[in-house]
Amino acid sequence: MEIHIVTDAVERAGVVADVFVRTLQESVGSGTVLGLATGSSPVPAYTELIRRHREEGLSFAGVRAFLLDEYVGLPPGHEQSYHRFIRENFTSHVDIDDSAVLSPDGSAADPAAEAAAYDRRITEAGGVDLQILGIGSNGHIAFNEPGSSLASRTRVVGLTRRTIADNARFFENSEDVPVRALSQGLGTIREARRIVLTATGEGKAEAVAQLAEGAISARWPATSLQLHPDVTVVVDEAAASRLELADYYRYARGLEHSGPVAPHS
């Protein structure tokens, strides 16, 4: 797990965008499959990718994308649906074919069957090359709340009271806040070939510390990423404030940019 502690939003967005670009370059000719997250954490990276598309010619032609999750009960066109969010904040501003941007159908008559079918679609696409993630203050990734099986697949999940309360600000009435979601499982997410997770703010500090340095546990779902061989974590100083090994992460990143070390004579 590579830990990047950055100084500001511009640097954070740049580091995450660089991982996207590297993945796109490595997949030329085979068609990249991206896993896209919603919420505030990845938006600066999406903004930077849009800038690179417009100003530097970065192309997403031939790319397919799968969203992490969707609220049960919200149709794709709902103003708070993640289907709509990702288009407004990213994919409609670059050259990804809209039909290639897939998400679970929150309005499906049988949500459990929809979840299973969505999981199969990811597998049939050859799996995800790069999955971007945020992290909740309770350590959830996607909507895998504490207590989720570390081997879980895409499924219907009940949201915790804390998550429901956090989401209430996006809805006019408290009774409109969804209490269930369709979510990729922890096992599904870890099948991505590369993962980049980004977080900001002191409110995420404990979750980030558990993610990087805590014991692997369903109590902190994000700790399951310790089992993955290619994870990049990009956090600001506030989100890194509880990392006991923060000085080492900074030192290790410095070594990577300093060139080879001469052997002792």
Active site residue 4: no
Catalytic option among 114, 119, 129, 145:
145
Using CA atoms, how far apart are residues 159 and 179, in angstroms rounded to an integer?
Answer: 5
Q: What is the 3-state secondary structure (H, E, C) of the chain?
A: CEEEEECCHHHHHHHHHHHHHHHHHHCCCCCCEEEECCCCCCHHHHHHHHHHHHHHCCCCCCCEEEECEEECCCCCCCCCCHHHHHHHHCHHHCCCCHHHEECCCCCCCCHHHHHHHHHHHHHHCCCCCEEEECCCCCCCECCECCCCCCCCCCEEEECCHHHHHHHHHHCCCHHHCCCEEEECCHHHHHCCCEEEEEECCHHHHHHHHHHHHCCCECCEHHHHHHHCCCEEEEEECCCCCCCCCHHHHHHHHHHHCCCCCCCCC
Catalytic option among 48, 69, 119, 129:
69
Catalytic option among 78, 119, 138, 144:
138
Active site residue 140: yes
Active site residue 138: yes
Active site residue 70: no
Count of C-beta atoms within a 10 Å radius of residue 77:
9
Catalytic option among 114, 129, 140, 144:
140
Which residues are part of the catalytic machinery? 69, 138, 140, 145
